[in-house]
A and B are shown apart, each in its own frame.
Chain A
Amino acid sequence: MGEDSAAPYNWTWNNVAAGNYSLTARVVYDAGSSLDSSPVNLAVTLTSTNLPAPWQTADIGSGIAVGSASVSNGTYSVKGAGNLSGMADNFRFVYQTLTGDGEIRANLQSLQNTGPNGCIGVMMRESLASGAKYNLIGVSTVGRYRLQNRASTGANSTAAAGGGATAPNIWLRLVRSGSSISIYTSTDGGNWAQVTSVPVTMATNIYLGLAVASGTTNTLNTAAFGNVTVVP
């Protein structure tokens, strides 16, 4: 990658593409002898995005292919790897904060089939930690509605499957009111059917947004959301 033969022995790595890297430093001395450092693992993520304020995006958890998000003409294109299952999540999250009551609704216009374990939808999440409480209404990447939650920090998430869902006629909505979250689906964005309402004990200030998990750690799923509306 580079080298420096004079003290203080530094080198700058520019224009680094997003991804996961393992770096090793090698010192060469006595005309040919060398010694390697232990490898240092690091993840490079893109901090620049054209998402409008106050949206932000990040990979939640670790050990997955680096995701991304952008917007064009009101359509949010979100690429994410990872899984929403078990005791800790890893996935791509496009989010903003929610204070007290509020809601998010979005039209999932397209998604890729990246196998049976992927999940894409709208989420309310207590924190950005990988084991945080959350509620999600979405679809599996093979096209069935998914209702998921983690009721207690660090506990297993639970999931339920519903009927078939066909993009672009997938509209998803979460509404927090007091200590409950109501969950809705629609095929047109105008006529909403309540799936359920669940009691939730989350902090006052939480996050809501768009979640994309491809179902594997190294494959990205690209999903497109339109008509994203948030009342924070």
Chain B
Amino acid sequence: MKTMIALGLVMLSLLLLVALRRTDGSPHPVAVGKPASAQSQQMFKVAHTRRAASHALTATQQAQPGDAILPAVVDAELDPDLRSQALERVVESIPDADLPAVLDSLANDVIPEAAELRQLLVRRWAERDAPAVAAWTSQMPESAARRAALEQVAIAWANTDLAAAAGWVRALPEGDSKQAATQAVAYEAARTEPAAALELASALPPTRERDDLLVHAVSQWAAADPAAAVAWALGIPELPARERVLAAAAIARAEQDGASAATLAAQALRAGDEQDRTVVAIVQRWAQNSPLAAASWVSEFPDLPSRDTAVQSLLAVWTARDADVANHWLQGLSAGSLRDVGMAAYAEAIADRDRVGAIAGQNPVPIPELMVPTGVR
């Protein structure tokens, strides 16, 4: 009986969403001053729709207690934030024991709200019993719905039992869904076990998405164990991916060991955009701890645009922290492009500091209006 009630609530919610969408798919108007005629009609239309939904709610509440979600569902149709909140309430209203039946009932529903609701329900179920929902997904045909469901299971399971989640994705039949689930487990693993994340990622085909994952995982590993991360990255067969990942490793270690990061960037990366980005990122980080050492490195760069950017980044950080020492270093440079660019960056940093200093405290900012979780945009 409870299952029937839950199913009834879900289906009624979805029907209302569909009906409202067909009636009025426009966003919630924000009334400013006296509304124009067209706006008045629009607002009336919305109000009429809400009244109809309220009547439906009343009938639902009489027959099926325990749910006050439908007014929110009405609002949700008018604003994506509220729609998400309303769907969350629908999810919360369904007893755990009814999740499989509700999911089955939504299996062939193609409206977007049903798809989003399916994902939320799968996620909730997976957070309570990931093996069970993993087994349930095995009956789903390969589709966007299966892919989305597997991703939600993967995320939830990886955060409760990473080893089991990794074993599950490895055993999945080949296809898009398996790749999406593998990627999802790997991203969650990267936070605390980047080596495990990379092992999973290695099974993925070489795509931009896989490379983004490799970069992400190696970045985390390099912050904790740079030697191991770099050694692993050097084994990537595809050159563009290898360079992206090595660049990420160099940047991740720059804060703790700028010199090693600099050496890695110089030796492992070819001249070009990737190396330029990496060099500047290293300088940004190195300058926070050892600006003189970073400055010494920058001064050895060839006279290229990337050197100018590196000098500007160096001086922005250095001047904010110790303008006198930064200026002293600049004064010691020989005349030329490096000195000119450095002086200009120094002057800009001083001007910005002075600008902020001149207005600070003179224009007190009131405490911002409280940010409230509404659909008002």
Are B251 and A83 in contact (CB-based, < 8 A)? no
Q: A26-58, CB under 8 A of B: which get 1 and which 0?
A: 000000000000000000000000001111100
Are B372 and A193 in contact (CB-based, < 8 A)? no
Cβ–Cβ < 8 Å partners of B179 in chain A: none
Q: Is A185 an interface residue (CB 8 A)?
A: yes
Q: Is A168 an interface residue (CB 8 A)?
A: no
One of B42-50, B230-238, B333-341, B362-370 contacting the partner: B362-370
Q: Is B242 an interface residue (CB 8 A)?
A: no
CB < 8 Å: which of A86, A192, A232 contacts B365? A192
Q: A76-101, CB under 8 A of B: which get 1 and which 0?
A: 00000001011100000000110110
CB < 8 Å: which of B285, B359, B372 contacts A190? B359
* Interface of chain B, main secondary structure: helix
Are B220 and A54 in contact (CB-based, < 8 A)? no
- Which of under 10, 10 to 19, 20 to 34, or 35 or more describes the interface residues of B? 35 or more
CB < 8 Å: which of A55, A83, A99 contacts B254? A99
Cβ–Cβ < 8 Å partners of A189 in chain B: 355-356, 359
Are B223 and A204 in contact (CB-based, < 8 A)? yes
Please report which residues of chain B, range 255-280, place their CB below 8 angstroms from some CB of chain A when the two chains form the complex. 255, 273, 276-280
Are B366 and A156 in contact (CB-based, < 8 A)? no
Are A203 and B216 in contact (CB-based, < 8 A)? yes
Cβ–Cβ < 8 Å partners of B357 in chain A: 190
Nearest A residue to B359 by beta-carbon distance?
Answer: A190
Are B80 and A158 in contact (CB-based, < 8 A)? no
Given A115-B27, A189-B356, A191-B359: A85 and B377 interface contact (C-beta under 8 Å): no
Are B364 and A161 in contact (CB-based, < 8 A)? no
Q: Is B178 an interface residue (CB 8 A)?
A: no
Q: Is B36 an interface residue (CB 8 A)?
A: no
CB < 8 Å: which of B30, B81, B317 contacts A142? B30
Are B366 and A193 in contact (CB-based, < 8 A)? yes
Are B317 and A191 in contact (CB-based, < 8 A)? no
Cβ–Cβ < 8 Å partners of B223 in chain A: 99-100, 204-205
Cβ–Cβ < 8 Å partners of B183 in chain A: 129
Please report which residues of chain A, range 130-149, place their CB below 8 angstroms from some CB of chain B when the two chains form the complex. 131-132, 140, 142, 144-147
Are A162 and B370 in contact (CB-based, < 8 A)? yes
What 6 pairs between A and B have smallest CB-CB spacing? Answer: A163-B369, A205-B219, A190-B359, A160-B371, A140-B377, A193-B365
